[in-house]
Chain A
Amino acid sequence: MTTVGVVLFPGSNCEMDVIEAVRGLGAGAEILWHGDRSVGDVDAVILPGGFAHGDYLRPGAIARFSPIMAAVEKFARDGGPVVGICNGFQVLTEAGLLPGALQKNRGLKFLCTTVEVRVETTDSVLTTVADEGQVLRIPINHFEGNYTCSPGVLAELRASDRVVLRYVDNPNGSVDDIAGICNETRNVVGLMPHPERASNPLLGSDDGLVLLRSLLVAASSMA
């Protein structure tokens, strides 16, 4: 069975939601402890949302030095699918697995609302079974979600089609409306919206499932 490892840092708070959503799609899911030095034999890794290490210093700044992160980096280098959701995206940028950084929202408000995001490329482990241009309704829940990067990095992201998701109506000031990006090899994706919170019509939307399904497709090719 395809199994997704969900990293639990002290202060993560979306790990069970992610596990529930993944299991709902018929795949296996297990917790990976931040203090472990191996990701075991999982087929994909998700860094969930929350406030790892209290977001002290900067979101993700301390979590990136967790023992598990060396294993996650190696897993990613070997082509394994890695997705960072919200705080997980912040951890991936701090770890240098994705370029840029996430600043405080323009307007200085903590945002907890459902937004529309557009799938900009289907060439990433998170979007293979989505349609290009497809608009998804997915919740965001963050204070530091304002994506920024140097003009050079932005040009590179655009030229290499690495902006995975864009906000339809930019809520936080992110440069170029960016809601999610991927790395050069397209197997590491970071996004601020929470697909696991849009995984059942009872939650108001199940638009996040197409993203999680894409991840499982990528994961099953690893299995």
Chain B
Amino acid sequence: MRFAVAVEVHLREGVADPQGATIERSLPYLGFEGVSGVRVGKLIRFTIDGDDEASVRREVEELCHRFLANPVIEDTTVRIEELVR
């Protein structure tokens, strides 16, 4: 089976995000009011082969922990979707 994976890497809560803060500060100048809590992250997409979603999820979580994110400052959200062939 083949799965489509989307890993969102985001800064952990409480970790300062100067990029997000800069974007947020600039929005009122463009006329966008009331926007708050801007946080900037990364989206990493790939496909992966595996027996079932549970085992693929375990593998992706390990991949995230060891490589895609730095656990000191980042968290990940993983979305997995089976690809129909």
Q: Do the beta carbons of B18 and A107 come within 8 Å of each other?
A: yes
Produce 1/0 per residue, A99-117, CB < 8 A to B.
1110111111000000000
In A104-163, which residues have CB < 8 Å from any B CB? 104-108, 148-150
Q: How far is the CA of A57 from the CA of B70 in the complex (A)?
A: 10
Please, how many residues of chain A have a CB less than 8 angstroms from a CB on the other chain? 19
Q: Do the beta carbons of B70 and A101 come within 8 Å of each other?
A: yes
Interface of A is mostly: loop
B27 at the A/B interface (Cβ < 8 Å)? Answer: no
B32 at the A/B interface (Cβ < 8 Å)? Answer: no
Q: How far is the CA of A61 from the CA of B22 in the complex (A)?
A: 25
Q: Do the beta carbons of A108 and B22 come within 8 Å of each other?
A: yes
Q: Do the beta carbons of A108 and B72 come within 8 Å of each other?
A: no
In B1-46, which residues have CB < 8 Å from any A CB? 15-16, 18-19, 22
Produce 1/0 per residue, B44-65, CB < 8 A to A.
0000000000000000000000
Please, how many residues of chain B have a CB less than 8 angstroms from a CB on the other chain? 10
CB distance from B13 to the nearest CB of A (A): 13
Q: Do the beta carbons of B15 and A103 come within 8 Å of each other?
A: yes
In-complex Cβ contact of B70 among A61, A105, A106, A107 (8 A): A61
Q: Do the beta carbons of B67 and A61 come within 8 Å of each other?
A: yes
Given contacts A108-B18, A108-B19, contact A103 B73 (CB under 8 A): yes
Q: How far is the CA of A150 from the CA of B68 in the complex (A)?
A: 20
Q: Do the beta carbons of A100 and B72 come within 8 Å of each other?
A: yes
In-complex Cβ contact of A105 among B18, B22, B72, B73 (8 A): B18
Q: How far is the CA of A103 from the CA of B20 in the complex (A)?
A: 13
Q: Do the beta carbons of B73 and A148 come within 8 Å of each other?
A: yes
- The chain B residue with its CB closest to the CB of A65 is B67
Q: Do the beta carbons of B70 and A58 come within 8 Å of each other?
A: yes
CB distance from B12 to the nearest CB of A (A): 10
- The chain A residue with its CB closest to the CB of B71 is A101
CB distance from B67 to the nearest CB of A (A): 7
Q: Do the beta carbons of B16 and A106 come within 8 Å of each other?
A: yes
A173 at the A/B interface (Cβ < 8 Å)? Answer: yes
Q: How far is the CA of A100 from the CA of B73 in the complex (A)?
A: 8
Q: Which residues of A contact B15 (CB under 8 A)?
A: 103, 148
In-complex Cβ contact of A104 among B18, B67, B68, B72 (8 A): B18
Nearest first, the 10 closest Cβ-Cβ pairs linking A and B are A101-B72, A101-B73, A108-B18, A101-B70, A104-B18, A58-B70, A106-B18, A108-B22, A103-B73, A100-B72
5 cross-chain CB contacts under 8 A: A99-B72, A103-B73, A148-B15, A148-B72, A149-B72
